[in-house]
Amino acid sequence: MDIKVRKMLGEDREAIRSILLRTEVFNQDEIDCAMELIDIYLNNPSQKDYLLASAINGNNEVVGYVCYGKAPLTHGAYDLYWIAVEPEYQREGVGRILLNYVESEITKLSARMLLAETSSRAVYEKTRRFYIKNGFSEEARVKDFYSTGDDKVIYKKIFP
C-alpha cells in the first residue's frame, strides 16, 4: 500500500475527527481531548509539546494520525498520546508506518524511550497487541485507574 506520513495540516482536521469516531473505541470526552490537542498543534505553530502527523493514501486521503511529544521535565522521554487508523485500513501496516515515523523523528531529538498508555479493557486488546508487536513491553500497570476494573497499562520502548 502506498502510504506516506507528513506533518498534520489544517485540512486533515475533519477527516481525523471522523476516524476517531469510526474507530468505535473512544468516547466523546476522549474525542474532545484528542481534538483539543489537534487544535493546539494547528493553531500554535511555535509550541513544541504536541507533535502531530497524518498518514495519507495514494488518493491523498487521510487514513490515520499520530500525536506524540516530549514528556515535560524529562531528558529524552517521549509520550505517544494518540494513534488511530481508519477502520477500513487497520491491520494493513498503517499503524506501524505511523509509529516508525514517530521513532525516526524522536531519535533525531535524542529520545531514550517512548511510552504509550492504554486501558486494560477488552476493546483495547488489539491496541495492546499492536504495541507488543512493535517492540514495546509492559512497564507498569495502575489497577482500577480509569474506573473499577479498568487498569492503566503503560508500555515502554527503549532506544539504544
Ligand X SMILES: CC(C)(COP(=O)(O)OP(=O)(O)OC[C@H]1O[C@@H](n2cnc3c(N)ncnc32)[C@H](O)[C@@H]1OP(=O)(O)O)[C@@H](O)C(=O)NCCC(=O)NCCS
Q: What is the 3-state secondary structure (H, E, C) of 113-137?
A: EEEEEEECCHHHHHHHHHHHHCCCE
Name the DSSP letter for residue 152. Answer: E
Nearer CB in complex with ligand X: 4/133: 133
Site for ligand X in 111-130 (CB under 6 A): 118, 124, 126-127, 129-130
Nearer CB in complex with ligand X: 92/105: 92
Nearer CB in complex with ligand X: 36/110: 36
Nearer CB in complex with ligand X: 107/134: 134
The CA distance from 102 to 99, in Å, is: 5
Q: Does 105 bind ligand X (CB under 6 A)?
A: no
Query: Cβ 90 to ligand X, closest distance in Å?
Result: 3
Q: Does 95 bind ligand X (CB under 6 A)?
A: yes
The CA distance from 57 to 98, in Å, is: 12
Residue appearing with cell numbers 515515523: 101
**CB burial of residue 119 (10 Å; 0-12, 13-18, 19+):** middle
Q: Which of 85, 102, 106, 114 binds ligand X (CB under 6 A)?
A: 85
Site for ligand X in 127-146 (CB under 6 A): 127, 129-130, 133
Residue type, 1: M
Residue appearing with cell numbers 474506573: 147
Q: Decide: 50 and 69 in contact? Cβ < 8 Å.
A: yes
The CA distance from 153 to 145, in Å, is: 9
Nearer CB in complex with ligand X: 110/136: 136
Site for ligand X in 54-83 (CB under 6 A): 82-83
Q: Does 4 bind ligand X (CB under 6 A)?
A: no
Which residues contact ligand X (rule: CB under 6 A)?
Answer: 23, 25, 82-85, 90-96, 118, 124, 126-127, 129-130, 133
